[in-house]
Amino acid sequence: MTATAGAEWRRGWPSVALTALGLTCAPATLPVYTLGLFVAPLSAEFLWSRAAIQAAILFSTGLGLVGGPLAGWLVRRYGLRLTVVSGLAGMALSLLLGAAMSGWLWQLYLAYGLMSLLGAGANAVSWSTYVAASFERSRGLALGLALSGTGLSAMLMPRIAEAGLEQGGWRSAYLALAAFVALAVLPLCAVFVPRGMPETPGGDGSSAQARGMDVSHVVRTGRFWLIGLSSACIYMAVGGLIPNLVPALTDRGMSAAQAVGVMGSMGAAIIAGRLAVGILVDRLWAPLVALIVLVPAAIGCLLLNTAQPLLVYSLCAASIGLVTGMEFDMLAFLIGRYFGLRDYARIYGRLYMFLAVSAGIAPMTFGAIYDRTHSYAMPIYAAAALLLAGGAMLLLLRRYPDLSDPAAETVAA
């Protein structure tokens, strides 16, 4: 018997709150939202190019090729609490290594690579599995609220880093970020995150938790590849735009504080996007909801390439934030609706590889084009095209399968 929405929320709200907190310092969020603030000081001190510095994201998110499946395996093997706490400890250690850099570029890449590997347990695979197992009727809204932690990261982490920069330079910024992870987030998760995964509301042997496809079958379906390639296109766009936004805006004459303010509007939009998308996907076909969000963001990219007042730039950043707010939620929701919860963590881990690799390649590519052309115009136009392509792919998914019907598990597309 399926639990009522109210009963789900009374039982499952801690999973939402803890996930939102934990995702503020996940390996796919913290590095992306803060690296832009380190570009200028690291370039000035060590004479590194922008492309070389932005390539660090290739290590922090690109190694999600390993980190995503690793997180899914860790949750199944060692339980939720040990997985996320060890991941947060790994994030703090990696940030401390960042503060200790002495001028060798490999040190930057090592620090950011370890964020992905040592911090793997704290990424969205672990957290979304926790929320998805806690909700069924309100899963879309719950995921939207929980994954708003990425929006909190966009609002909070750049300000922590900026405060550190003002107090003692880039080393102090890394130390401030490490302190937040180790002293604020990790202890709360160590106390309140459950050891194992909660039972799906109303779950029994025939529940949604037992229904769905095995990962070995899922990877052979057309839907798996459509979702994966769509995620790659969308995150290639936003993954390239976000860490390059502060340098792009300061190149236009903005102060660092103004650029961080624009990033703040993006963070607020990420949260708003998560809430709106979470509500809508519980009521409408999810690919249509995605397209509604992606088209304005593509228009926002085009406006970023023109001279505009600060307010317009903030609105453009907000439109990109809506996409960022949607993407993790949409991926988590689509997995549950099209493939079920039977092998959710491992399926998420496989699809996360598409997102991680594209997000890792994108900042370096944007930076390399800038170093060659001294302009961000070309990659920003490409981002608009990628957003539209990702939305078009999702429209090919067709209707949700009936996972209560065993025959649905044999459908390959």
Give the span between the Cα atoms of 134 and 248, in whole angstroms.
41
Query: Rounded to a whole number, what is the distance in angstroms from the first to the last CA of the chain?
Result: 29
Whether 2 maps to a domain, the answer reads: no
Give the span between the Cα atoms of 296 and 184, in whole angstroms.
36
Give the span between the Cα atoms of 51 and 72, in whole angstroms.
32
Q: Which pair of structure tokens corresponds to residue 153?
A: 């990261």
Nearest Cα neighbor of 322 from 244, 268, 390 is: 268
Helix ranges (H only) for 79-148 are: 80-99, 105-118, 124-134, 139-146
Give the span between the Cα atoms of 306 and 235, in whole angstroms.
23
pLDDT at 412: 43
- CA distances in angstroms from 49 to 52, 53, 374, listed in the order given: 5, 6, 12
At a CB cut-off of 8 Å and minimum separation 6, what does 312 contact?
A: 303
pLDDT at 6: 77
Give the span between the Cα atoms of 297 and 263, in whole angstroms.
15
Whether 202 maps to a domain, the answer reads: no
Whether 374 maps to a domain, the answer reads: yes
- Supply the range of the domain harboring residue 98: 14-197+208-410
Whether 1 maps to a domain, the answer reads: no
pLDDT at 125: 81
Residue linked to tokens 């660090």: 56
Query: Do you know the residue count of the chain?
Result: 413
Nearest Cα neighbor of 58 from 32, 34, 25 is: 32
CATH code, domain with 385: 1.20.1250.20
Q: How many domains does the chain have?
A: 1
Whether 4 maps to a domain, the answer reads: no
Whether 40 maps to a domain, the answer reads: yes
pLDDT at 8: 81
With 0-12 CB in 10 A as exposed, 13-18 as middle and 19+ as buried, what is 204? Answer: exposed
Whether 68 and 353 have beta carbons less than 8 Å apart is answered as: yes
pLDDT at 293: 92
User: pLDDT means per 10 residues in the chain (413 residues)?
Assistant: 70 89 90 89 91 85 72 83 95 96 95 92 86 80 81 87 92 97 95 77 47 83 94 90 82 79 80 80 88 92 80 87 81 86 82 82 84 86 94 92 61 47
Whether 52 maps to a domain, the answer reads: yes
pLDDT at 204: 47
Whether 323 and 297 have beta carbons less than 8 Å apart is answered as: yes
Whether 158 maps to a domain, the answer reads: yes
Whether 173 and 162 have beta carbons less than 8 Å apart is answered as: yes
pLDDT at 200: 56
